[in-house]
Amino acid sequence: MQPLQIAILAAGKGKRMHSALPKVLHLLAGKPLLAHVLATARAMNARAICVVDGQGDRVRARFPDADLLWARQDPPRGTGDALRCALGTLPRDGVTLVLFGADPLARAETLREVVEQARTGALSLLTIDLDDPEGYGRVVRTADGRVAAIVEHVDATPAQQTIREVNTGVMAAPTAAFARWLAEIDDRNASGEFFLTDVIALAVRDGVHVATTRPASITEALGVNSRRDLAELERRYQRTQADALLDAGVALADPARIDIRGTLGCGRDVSIDVGCIFEGQVTLGDSVTIGAHCVLRNVAVGIGTAIAPFSHLEDAQIGVQCRIGPYARIRPAVVLADEVHIGNFVEIKASTIGERSKVNHLSYVGDSSVGRDVNVGAGTITCNYDGARKHRTVIEDNVHIGSGTQLVAPVAIGRGATIGAGTTVWKDAPPESLTVNAKTQVARSSWKRPKKG
């Protein structure tokens, strides 16, 4: 079997994006467009992958991967010239597959069909039918259905512009044939560029069969040229993810209002309300419920846990039968044991919370170890930062902390201790005891409230 190599054309400036960011670095589902293409290319088991970039080094800096080859196209002079740059870096034998850095959603299964056609000696194209083919190169066929040429939109006649079958740009051929045809193409066209599509007519001239493959979904072949394109592709991608969840038994309140920017694994009877965002690697156990407008990033959630609306969880491990939110923030390096309650407007950071413990109202717990069956009263904060270093707070099992308490770290609260409301604790509190600050309450009957003059 002939070896495969892949050229990814990514040198376009993306003028229609109206952005200083290279087009292939714009995000789809939380990852750069080029990252999607590279993931698919790697799934093809190619012996070499070459990315053709343009001016500057921003794309190379974003992908410093050791397995990538790079070629520079400067100035950009069209897709034909870009592939010529790539072939100067890639091996000269085998079969070359051409992909585009801003066309992110072709499946490896579809591309393998394109490659297999090329391994028979054909020039193999990926084509689609569009209701509105504006801007795409048209596939011109002979009366008996054979591909004769591809005509770019700007060069197409009125009759050719009515053709709905268009070229996606993805193609494969024996590498030696590509090199031979690219040496013959010119830039005598309306754009003054070297069009890769010109090789089709040369293949026909040489008697080489031009084969076509159609993807299972039009989404596979769509590329990004504008922010409108990117927004449409994002929704198509997300709907595909939502459909897969629905097929797996996940209850989605509205499949049009969910965003998955990574991987989301769900157990049975999971329920997700509207507007939720899942980033990185997220796993939800059986019977987990996620309220509206939550954000979860790199989180594992245990069986039966309920996360109320507008909660934000990041880099955390959540136990079974927990209750979180609404408006809770779980920051990195947090581990919640089973049956923990984290309430509204509570922030937890770099802490472990033991079984059945509760931090229910308007509190901050940071850099802390909290034991079992602890109740943290409303408005409690751990004062963990001295302006230079972070310090830890240790709260042992069965502690009750009254509302409005400040725990000045480093400090430890002994097992079974009670901290009175409004106490500032700066020394270790002994176990099984009440800790309060000595206070005096004074009422001055002669005092007058200031009045606005």
Q: Mean of the pLDDT values across residues 282-288?
A: 98
Number of domains in the chain: 2
> For 406, what's the count of Cα atoms within 13 Å in the CB-facing half-sphere?
7
Final residue of a structural domain among 189, 206, 221: 221
Contact assessment for residue 372 and residue 356, using Cβ atoms and an 8 Å cutoff: yes
Q: Are residues 214 and 250 in the same domain?
A: no
Q: Are residues 53 and 167 in the same domain?
A: yes
Q: What is the pLDDT of residues 33-77, one digit of tens each?
A: 999 999 999 999 999 999 999 878 899 999 999 999 999 998 889
The question of whether 361 is a catalytic residue gets the answer yes
Confidence of residue 263 (pLDDT cuts 50, 70, 90): very high
The answer to whether residue 450 is domain-embedded is no
Residue 339 within any structural domain of the chain: yes
Same domain for 217 and 252: no
Which run of H or of E encompasses 272?
Answer: strand 271-272
104 and 150 together in one domain: yes
Mean pLDDT value across the chain? 95
How does residue 136 score in pLDDT terms, banded at 50, 70 and 90?
A: confident
Same domain? For 158 and 92 the reply is: yes
Q: What is the pLDDT of residue 269?
A: 98
3-state secondary structure of 202: helix
180, part of any domain? yes
- Look at residue 369 and give its three-state secondary structure: strand
The verdict on 64 and 109 lying in the same domain is yes
State residue 323's pLDDT score. Answer: 98
**Residue 346: per-residue pLDDT:** 98
Q: Where among 153, 188, 221 does a domain terminate? A: 221
Q: Does the structure show a pLDDT above 80 at 442?
A: yes
Residue 453 has pLDDT above 80, yes or no: no
Q: What is the pLDDT of residues 151-173, one digit of tens each?
A: 888 888 999 999 999 989 999 99
Which one-letter DSSP state was computed for residue 353?
E
- The residue among 126, 99, 141, 108 whose CA lies nearest residue 215 is 126
Report the pLDDT averaged over residues 246-259: 98
Task: Give the pLDDT confidence score for residue 242 in this predicted structure.
Answer: 98
Share of the chain above pLDDT 70, in %: 100
Determine, yes or no, domain membership for 238. Answer: no
Average pLDDT over residues 314-334: 98
Tell me the CATH number at 198.
Answer: 3.90.550.10
138-142, 237-241, 344-348, range with the lowest pLDDT: 138-142
Which of 153-162, 222-231, 343-352, 379-388 comes out lowest in average pLDDT? 153-162
CATH number for the domain spanning 250: value is: 2.160.10.10
Domain-located, residue 172: yes
Let me know whether 71 and 102 are in one domain.
yes
Residue 232 lies in a domain: no
Same-domain pairing of 341 and 386: yes
What is this structure's pTM?
0.90
The confidence score (pLDDT) of residue 438 equals 85
Q: Which helix (H) or strand (E) holds 63?
A: none
Q: How many Cα neighbours within 13 Å face the side chain of 146?
A: 13
pLDDT of residue 207: 95
Q: Decide if pLDDT at 451 tops 90.
A: no
Residues 174 and 262 in one domain: no
Q: Which residue range forms the structural domain that includes residue 213?
A: 4-221
In a domain, 169, yes or no: yes
Please check whether residues 213 and 255 belong to one and the same domain: no
The per-residue pLDDT for 34 is 97
* Mean pLDDT in residue range 422-427: 96
- Could you tell me which of 132, 162, 209, 143 has the C-alpha nearest to residue 151? 162
296 with 328, same domain?
yes
255 with 341, same domain: the answer is: yes
Q: Is residue 442 part of a domain?
A: no
Own/partner pairs, 15-24, CB within 8 angstroms, 24+ separation: 16/225, 16/226, 17/224, 17/225, 17/226, 17/227, 17/230, 18/227, 19/227, 21/58, 22/53, 22/54, 22/56, 22/58, 22/59, 23/101, 23/102, 23/224, 23/225, 24/59, 24/101, 24/102
Which residues are CB-neighbours of 214 under 8 A, at least 6 positions away?
126, 127, 128
Q: Which of 153, 361, 391, 400 is catalytic?
A: 361
Query: How far apart are the C-alpha atoms of 203 and 159, rounded to whole Å?
Result: 23
Looking at 172, 206, 221, the residue that finishes a domain is: 221
∠ CA 26-12-157 to the nearest 5 degrees?
Answer: 120
